[in-house]
Amino acid sequence: MTLAQTDRLAPTHFRHSAFWQNAHLYFDRVFQTMSLDQTWRSVLTTPKRVLSVSCPIRRDDGTIQVFTGYRAQHNGARGPFKGGIRYDVSVTQDECMALAMLQTWKNALVDLPFGGAKGGIVCDPKKLSMTEKERLTRRYTSEIMPIIGPNMDIPAPDLGTDSQIMAWVLDTYSMMVGHQELGVVTGKPVACGGSVGREDATGRGVMNILRKFLATQNKQLSDVRVAVQGFGNVGYHSARLLDDRGATVVAISERASAIYDESGIDVEAAGAFYKENGTLKGFAGADEIANDELLACDCDVLIPAAMENTIDESIAPHIKAHTVVEGANGPTTPKADEILRDNGVTVLPDILANAGGVTVSYFEWVQGLDNYFWNAKRVQDELQRVMESAFDQVNAKADESDCDYRTAAYTIAISRVAEACRLKGLFP
Ligand code: NAD
C-alpha cells in the first residue's frame, strides 16, 4: 500500500482540519500562560461525545438521498450541553467538534450554566424544498434524540437554520416523548414557546459589545463607519441595530455579492431586497464591489458575520478598520490575529461578541421550563446586563494582564470550566 493510499484510509481524527487546529491553538496560547494543572489539558480539549448519524429522506421527486449529520458535545462540567445546529455543505465532524469547544468557552464567559455543543447536517439548505427540509430535520432530530433533551443537550439555530427548523425539532422530540417539551430546543418561533428577542439577540449582543468598547475610547456608535461581512441572522441584525443607533453602515456582503456606499447604506431596504432576491446583486442603493474587497474597505469597524476563517494572513495586513467585532464563530485565524494585533487593530473575540444569541437562548430555556414568558423589554435589559458585565470582566482582565481581549476572554472562560472540572473530580 502506498503512502497516499494509507493517508486516504486514515481515520478522520488523525487529519484534523485547520479550523480544529486553530481552536486548539487559541486554547493552548492561553492555557500555557495559566497556572493550571497541565494534566487537565486533555480533559479540557477533548469532546465528551461525538455522534455521527445518517439521515435518509425521500426527495420530492421520489428518490432517496442519505444525508450525514453530527452532534458534538464538548465539556458538560458547568451544565447541560448547548449549541447550534448548522445546515451547510461545509459541515464536518471536525468543524462540529471545534465549534462545540468554542461554545464551551462562550457559555462559561457569559456565565451561563451550560457546556458547549454543536451539530449540523452536510447539505445545501437552498437546494432543499420546505418539505424536504422538514423531513430531514425530523429524521436528524430522531437520530440524535438519545443525546438531546432539556437537561442533556439543547440545540439552537446557527448557519443555515432558523426558527422554523427549531419548531420541527421541538415537535419531533415532543411527539416521541409523548408530551410538549419546550426546553429541548431554543430559537423556536414565539408562537411555539420561543422567546421574544431571540431572533435579533446575537446582533443586539454585537451592538452592546461594540458600544461598550467604543465608550472606553470616548467614542459613540454614531462616530463609526461599519462594514459587515455576511447578511444572514447575525449580519443583518447587527447592521440594522447599529444603523438604528447612528452608526454608518458603509458595506455589506453575502456569499455571492457585496455592496459599498461611503455615505451609508439603507440597511432596511437592503434587508428587504436580500429577503426577496436571496442576493444583494442588483440592489440599486449602493455600488457593487468584489466580495473580498469588503474586508479591506475603508471603514472603522469590521464585523465578520459569515463563516469561520474568512480573515486569514493574506487579508489581515490590508484591513483598514481599527476594530474587528467577531459576529461569526472563528472568523479570524491565529496568524491573522497576530497580524491584526501587531497592526494595532482591536479584536473583540467571538466568544464575547456573539454571545448574545446563546444568552437569550438561555432566557428562552428558563422561560420554557417555568412556563412563564418575559416581555421584550425584560429580555433586552437582561441581555444588555449580561453582555456589559462580560465586557467589563474581559476589559478588566485585559488591563490587569496587559493582554488582548481574546486572551483575556479565554483566560476567564477556561478558568471557570477548569474550576468546575476540578471541583467535580473524575468519575468513578
Ligand atoms: P445565516 O445562515 O443566517 O447567514 C449567513 C450569511 O453569511 C448569509 O448571508 C451568507 O450569504 C453569508 N456568507 C456565507 N459565506 C460568505 C462569504 N464567504 N462572504 C460573505 N458572506 C458570506 O447564518 P448566521 O446564523 O447569521 O451565522 C453566521 C455566523 O455567526 C456563523 O459563524 C455562526 O456560527 C455565527 N453565530 C450565529 C448565531 C445565531 O444566533 N444565529 C449565534 C452566534 C454565532
Q: What's the confidence (pLDDT) of residue 37?
A: 87
With a cut of 50, say whether residue 8 has pLDDT above it: no
Q: Is 90 in the pocket of ligand 1 (CB under 6 A)?
A: no
With a cut of 50, say whether residue 4 has pLDDT above it: no
Span from the CA of 8 to the centroid of ligand 1 (angstroms):
31
Write the pLDDT tens digit of every residue in 344-366: 999 999 999 999 999 999 999 99
Q: Is 230 in the pocket of ligand 1 (CB under 6 A)?
A: yes
Write the pLDDT tens digit of every residue in 109-153: 999 999 999 999 999 999 999 999 999 999 999 999 999 999 999
Span from the CA of 304 to the centroid of ligand 1 (angstroms):
9
Span from the CA of 115 to the centroid of ligand 1 (angstroms):
22
Span from the CA of 120 to the centroid of ligand 1 (angstroms):
14
Angle formed by the axes of helices 201-216 and 376-401, to 10°? 40
Res. 7 pLDDT band, cuts 50 70 90: very low
Q: Relative to the CA of 361, which ligand 1 atom is closest? A: 40
Mean pLDDT estimate for the chain: 95
Q: What's the confidence (pLDDT) of residue 15?
A: 61
Atom 38 of ligand 1, residue of closest alpha carbon: 158
Q: What's the confidence (pLDDT) of residue 259?
A: 98
Give backbone dihedrals phi and psi of 19, rounded to 5 degrees, phi first: -65, -40
Compute the distance between CA of residue 390 and CA of residue 384 in angstroms, rounded to an integer.
Answer: 10
Span from the CA of 230 to the centroid of ligand 1 (angstroms):
6
Which of 387-407 are b and which e, b meaning 16 or more Cβ less than 10 Å from the residue's Cβ?
A: beebbebbbebbeeeebbbbb
Q: Which of 48, 106, 118, 212 is catalytic?
A: 118
Q: Relative to the CA of 201, which ligand 1 atom is closest? A: 40
Q: Is 303 in the pocket of ligand 1 (CB under 6 A)?
A: no
Q: Is 327 in the pocket of ligand 1 (CB under 6 A)?
A: yes
Atom 15 of ligand 1, residue of closest alpha carbon: 255
Span from the CA of 2 to the centroid of ligand 1 (angstroms):
40
Show the cell assigned to 60. Answer: 420530492
Q: Is 254 in the pocket of ligand 1 (CB under 6 A)?
A: yes
Q: Assess whether the region 3-181 and the region 201-353 belong to the same CATH fold.
A: yes
Res. 17 pLDDT band, cuts 50 70 90: confident
Q: What's the confidence (pLDDT) of residue 40?
A: 87
Q: Relative to the CA of 256, which ligand 1 atom is closest? A: 11
Show the cell assigned to 292. Answer: 473580498
* pLDDT mean over 197-209: 98
Compute the distance between CA of residue 427 and CA of residue 410 in angstroms, rounded to an integer.
Answer: 26
Span from the CA of 328 to the centroid of ligand 1 (angstroms):
6
Span from the CA of 232 to the centroid of ligand 1 (angstroms):
5
Q: Which residue from 118, 126, 165, 254 has its CB within 8 A of the most atoms of ligand 1, so it is best to mutate? A: 254
Atom 36 of ligand 1, residue of closest alpha carbon: 328
Q: Hey, where are the domains in the chain?
A: 3-181, 201-353
CATH dotted code for 201-353: 3.40.50.720
Q: Is 233 in the pocket of ligand 1 (CB under 6 A)?
A: yes
Could you confirm whether 118 is annotated as catalytic? yes
CATH dotted code for 3-181: 3.40.50.10860
Judge contact between 300 and 326, C-beta under 8 A: no
Q: Is 202 in the pocket of ligand 1 (CB under 6 A)?
A: yes
DSSP lists the bridge partners of residue 253 as 229, 258
- Its pTM stands at 0.95
Please choose, from the candidates 66, 65, 96, 68, the residue with its C-alpha nearest in 3D space to the C-alpha of residue 83.
96
Atom 41 of ligand 1, residue of closest alpha carbon: 158
Q: Which residue from 126, 209, 238, 255 has its CB within 8 A of the most atoms of ligand 1, so it is best to mutate? A: 255
Cα separations (Å) of 162 from 38, 84, 89? 40, 10, 16
Q: Which residue from 164, 233, 297, 332 has its CB within 8 A of the most atoms of ligand 1, so it is best to mutate? A: 233
Q: Is 163 in the pocket of ligand 1 (CB under 6 A)?
A: no
- What are the residues whose beta carbons fall under 8 Å from the beta carbon of 403, sequence distance 6 or more? 397, 411
Write the pLDDT tens digit of every residue in 88-100: 999 999 999 999 9
DSSP structure string for 207-257: HHHHHHHHHHTT--GGG-EEEEE--SHHHHHHHHHHHHTT-EEEEEEETTE
pLDDT above 70 coverage of the chain, percent? 96
Write the pLDDT tens digit of every residue in 285-309: 999 999 989 999 999 999 999 999 9
